[in-house]
Amino acid sequence: MSLTRVQQAEIDAQRRETAATRRVVASGLEERLYEAVPVLDHGFVRAIDYMGDDAAIVQAARVSYGRGTKAARDDRGLIRYLMRHWHSTPFEMCEIKLHVKLPIFVARQWIRHRTANVNEISARYSILDREIYVPAPEHLAAQSVANRQGRGAVLEGAEAERALAILRDDSTRAYGHYEELLNERDGAPIDPERTGLARELARMNLTLNTYTQWYWKTDLHNLLHFLRLRADAHAQYEIRVYADAIAALTQAWVPLAYEAFEDYRLNAAHISGPALEVVRRMLIGEQVTAETSGLSAGEWRELSTVLQTTASGRAE
């Protein structure tokens, strides 16, 4: 991640400011407000503002005057009950606003989560920075043969070097042409004798690994849904690392809710009715195989992964 001295000075100034308040304060997140958490090569995530904490979830569930109950274990138990039984509205009472710097192709994945308020930097008004994402060699993988939207084995040797060279060269060339079309660099004309192309047109030439920025505000319920999908091991690496950074901020913000989320969402598994029947048969001692399960090949493979079954159909 690269921050200019001006940007770092602005962050330091924000972090020095304090104010007395009657609002709920989450001490864990307060310590991390405005801090730029590095992600990928040039990206970051910053918590800008928030509303509510664990007690606000409890307060909303009970519609009480206070900050939940006096016994922390009671609040924890209620939050776990709400999470376990898929209650959503109490978690919607908490909100967070993030400042995110991310490659455009990651942003286009991310924006599919429509239950948020988003304001992205406008390349009609601003000139995007000369910053492009190039994967680290260990994340440069071939197309998966089993999953059309996944990765296979990591590329190595000359093939990897060639792929990285193409990514760097194409992106660098495209950004150079972007500057040439604008006829502007560092706030000054490149050629005083020439008129530049409008920013809203010049931006068309940028590659999808160019970095953009946005403010992203969402409630806790929808944030946890985002994390359940994007912090999963099967999510694309480039969005998963952002989800991991946000997960750490969420844990600092609402530790009881995040603990329940880990137990009942992130590290839990959902199985179908037919798959549940297979589990019941296994529990009474029946040796169930793919052929006798009544499940499709895909369903059997998914259930086996969840249960880590042996070839004989017995759970390990």
Query: Which residues, including other chains, have CB under 8 Å from residue 312's CB and lie 6 or more apart?
Result: 287, 289
Q: Where are the alpha helices (DSSP H) in the chain?
A: 5-16, 27-30, 54-62, 72-84, 104-110, 157-182, 199-202, 220-230, 237-253, 255-261, 273-283, 290-293, 297-307
> Residue 316 corresponds to which tokens in the numbers above?
């390990």
Q: Which residues are catalytic?
A: 230
In what helix (H) or strand (E) does residue 51 lie, and over which residues does it extend? strand 43-51
Measured distance CA(17)–CA(33) in Å, rounded: 11
Please tell me the distance from the alpha carbon of residue 236 to that of residue 285, in angstroms, as a whole number: 39
d(CA 235, CA 147): 12
- For residues 281, 282, 287, 293, the Cα torsion angle rounded to the nearest 10 degrees is 60
Confirm if 97 and 48 have CB atoms less than 8 A apart: yes
Tokens linked to 183: 């006829």
Cβ distance 45 to 99 under 8 Å?
Answer: yes
Count of residues in the chain: 316
Using CA atoms, how far apart are residues 183 and 192, in angstroms rounded to an integer? Answer: 8
Q: What region does 74 belong to: left with phi over 0, alpha with psi -120 to 50, or beta?
A: alpha
